[in-house]
Amino acid sequence: MVARTNLIMKNNTMRGRVGGWLMGLAGVLALGISANANEPIKHTKDTLATVKEKLAKGKAVLVDVREKFEWEDGHLKAAVLVPLSELREGKNDEEFAKALAKKLPGNKIIYCHCRSGGRVLSAAPILRALKYDVRPLKAGYRTLVESGFKKAK
């Protein structure tokens, strides 16, 4: 009976640990919380003028997380394409992280944009987990163009 009781207690402890871990993971996914920084991911408070200035001074990189077909329909001259689908697919892949490091310097601010400001909130935790200083923009592609960001020809 003692052995059975110990086994039950051990199983309940493991369930508690695994269950707690799963609940934490569910919170990270549901709330858009970065597991790395333990803080909610929100749109940046940097103004578009500040974004333009940091891009012009080479202190930041603009990343378009839309899909390739959207990029081909029109994109910003200053942007680098890193589709959200690729980020999701490669987020746990060391080779992907190395390839991404060639596109995105780790010592610069990463401003992300998409069509309307939603997908950037999914991309940001992935980039933050890879140690990037990521700042998701609420402004989408059209708003950025209307605000003076140059379209690629």
Together in a domain, 18 and 76: no
Same domain, 27 and 52: no
pTM of the model: 0.75
- pLDDT greater than 70 at residue 146: yes
Residue 77 falls within a domain, yes or no? Answer: yes
Which residue carries 């993971």 as its tokens?
25
Contact (CB, 8 A) for 100 and 91 = no
Question: Are 67 and 112 part of one and the same domain?
Answer: yes
Domain identity same for 23 and 58:
no
- Are residues 93 and 141 both part of a single domain? yes
pLDDT of 39:
72
CA torsion 91→94→98→103, rounded to 10°? -10
Q: Is residue 127 part of a domain?
A: yes
Residue 43 lies in a domain: no
On whether residue 151 sits in a domain, the answer given is no
86 and 119 housed in the same domain: yes
Q: What is the pLDDT of residue 89?
A: 95
- Which residue range is the domain that position 139 belongs to? 48-146
pLDDT digits (tens, 9 = 90+) for 44-60: 999 999 999 999 999 99
User: In this model, does residue 132 exceed pLDDT 90?
Assistant: yes
- Domain co-membership, 15 together with 82: no
* Count of structural domains, the chain: 2
DSSP state of 19: H
The three-class DSSP label of residue 40 is: strand
pLDDT in tens, 60-111: 999 999 999 999 999 999 999 999 999 999 999 999 999 999 999 999 999 9
What order of strands is seen across the sheet that includes strand 133-136? 79-81, 60-64, 109-113, 133-136
Say yes or no: 71 and 25 in one domain.
Answer: no
Q: Is the dihedral of CA 145, 148, 150, 153 positive or negative?
A: positive
In percent, the amount of the chain with pLDDT more than 90 equals 73
Q: What is the pLDDT at residue 9?
A: 42
**Residue at 153 is within a domain:** no
Given pLDDT bands bounded at 50, 70 and 90, which one contains residue 153?
confident
